[in-house]
Amino acid sequence: MNDSCPPRPPTSYDRYDEVSYTPYPRSIPLARRRVAGLAVDWGHPALAGDAALLASELCTNALLHGCLRDRLFRVETTLTTTALRIAVTDPRGERLPGTRPPRPDDQFGRGLLIVRVLAGRWAVERLTVGKTVWAELDLPKKQDAWLHGGEESYWRS
């Protein structure tokens, strides 16, 4: 993670998607599948698994720590020339995420550690009402796409 990265949305992007979800556990797999599908549809199938995992972790944190019963949470997926960004906004700005080392027998508490490992960058942005936690996956370079996905991947990127 690059701690100096400003927590601002991209000013220009190639693709954008936004969906609001109800604050119930059944929303998490819906968001996960949507984000993975967008990664594939937008020409980056190699990122679909990591994008799905990031979406799942960010949505789970929003649901457990940031949602109120009658308030939706929002998932924004953005593709820029350099990254795929997953951003989750919830209504509880006073409850900021933190990372603490989990104990070996803890069943929870590893979500942001997973985000830190997978994402090229991630941050929290306080809003007037609520907060947004976002994470970015760096897009593979053209050369990497050629090596891992063949000619079709190279030309779609």
Given a contact cutoff of 8 angstroms between Cβ atoms, the answer to whether 78 and 84 are in contact is yes
Domain definitions of the chain by residue range = 15-99+106-156
Closest to 66 (Cα-Cα) out of 35, 98, 36, 31: 98
Name the pairing type of β-strands 73-79 and 83-90.
antiparallel
Q: What pLDDT digit, counting tens, does each position of 13-43 carry?
A: 799 999 999 999 999 999 999 999 999 999 9
DSSP 5-48: S-----SS-SEEEEEEE-SSTTHHHHHHHHHHHHHHHTT-GGGH
pTM above 0.95, yes or no: no
> Which CATH entry fits the domain spanning 15-99+106-156: 3.40.50.300, 3.30.565.10, 3.20.20.70, 3.30.70.20?
3.30.565.10
d(CA 89, CA 58): 9
Grouping H, G, I as helix, E, B as strand and the rest as coil, residue 77 is strand
**pLDDT tens, 67-93?**
667 789 999 999 999 999 999 999 875
> What value does the mean pLDDT take over residues 90-103?
67
C-alpha 23, offset from chain centre: 17
